[in-house]
């Protein structure tokens, strides 16, 4: 490592960079993984999630500078990196696709770093596909739950607060009595007892800052044996 000039050493950025370089060199010298240098580790890190056959990866690494590696060396280094980097791991559902792509690229004569790049892009696309599918399933589940809640509300059964489509109102039924909670212009919540979801107006039972306060009031009001207007 070249010694920086006195002028450079006064630059805080250069000092930090120099310190980081020193720490990296010291760490590498004290590493338990004595067969691994920077380029080897960089390649293996990039292959963590790609299902590259360990034996083929070993063969490529052994053509790079450094001591000879066994298949176990490669497998365990991959495992160690995967445990360090929680966001990177080889997902079982991607294995068939990754292996098919790997064999096709290998047959075409593509070199290992390029194959890994192709596999990384494939994994990214698959992760995005799964994310979109998961989001679609979640939205469908929410839609079904909302439909079930609305049906329960309309059936006359007691139910928790249920949003009503195309409004900001929520309804609940307790002890057979129907209540509507409507946001007012001052951000307070107006609690009404109503005859039906379609009915406008209703009897104002109170105004509240939070839905939780309105819920407590409903639990008291619903069981009071007072004449309903």
- Domain locations along the chain: 31-132, 156-221
6 vs 11, higher pLDDT: 11
Percent of the chain with pLDDT over 90: 75
Please determine, for residue 227, whether its predicted confidence score (pLDDT) is greater than 60: no
Distance CA 116, CA 99 (A): 11
| pLDDT recorded at residue 229 | 44
Is this structure's pTM higher than 0.85?
no
Note the pLDDT tens digit of each residue in 74-112. Answer: 999 999 998 886 657 889 999 999 999 999 999 999 999
Q: Residue 199: is its pLDDT beyond 90?
A: no
Q: How many CB atoms lie within 10 A of CB 2?
A: 4
82: number of Cβ within 10 Å: 16
Long-range (24+ apart) CB contacts under 8 A made by 210-217 are 211/161, 211/170, 211/181, 214/181, 214/189, 215/161, 215/172, 217/191
Whole-number Å distance between alpha carbons of 137 and 133: 6
Q: What percent of the chain has pLDDT over 70?
A: 83
pLDDT score recorded for residue 28:
53
Cα 24 from Cα 16, distance rounded (Å): 12
């Amino acid at each position: 490592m070249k010694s920086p000039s006195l002028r450079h050493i006064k630059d805080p950025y250069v000092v930090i960079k120099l310190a980081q370089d020193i720490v990296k060199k010291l760490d590498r010298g004290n590493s338990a993984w004595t067969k691994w240098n920077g380029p080897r580790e960089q390649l293996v890190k990039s292959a963590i999630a790609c299902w590259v056959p360990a034996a083929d990866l070993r063969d490529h690494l052994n053509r790079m500078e450094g001591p000879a590696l066994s298949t176990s060396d490669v497998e365990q280094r991959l495992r160690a990196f995967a445990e360090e980097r929680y966001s990177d791991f080889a997902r079982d559902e991607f294995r068939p696709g990754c292996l098919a792509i790997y064999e096709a690229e290998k047959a075409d004569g593509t070199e290992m770093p390029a194959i890994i790049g192709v596999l990384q892009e494939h994994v990214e696309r698959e992760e995005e596909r799964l994310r979109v599918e998961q989001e679609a399933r979640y939205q469908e589940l929410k839609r079904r739950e909302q439909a079930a809640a609305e049906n329960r509300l309309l059936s006359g059964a007691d139910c928790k607060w249920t949003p009503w489509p195309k409004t900001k109102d929520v309804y609940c039924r307790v002890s057979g009595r129907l209540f509507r909670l409507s946001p007012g212009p001052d951000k307070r919540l107006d609690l009404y007892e109503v005859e039906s979801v379609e009915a406008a107006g209703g009897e104002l039972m109170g105004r509240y800052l939070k839905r939780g306060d309105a819920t407590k009031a409903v639990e008291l009001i619903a069981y009071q044996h007072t004449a309903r207007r």
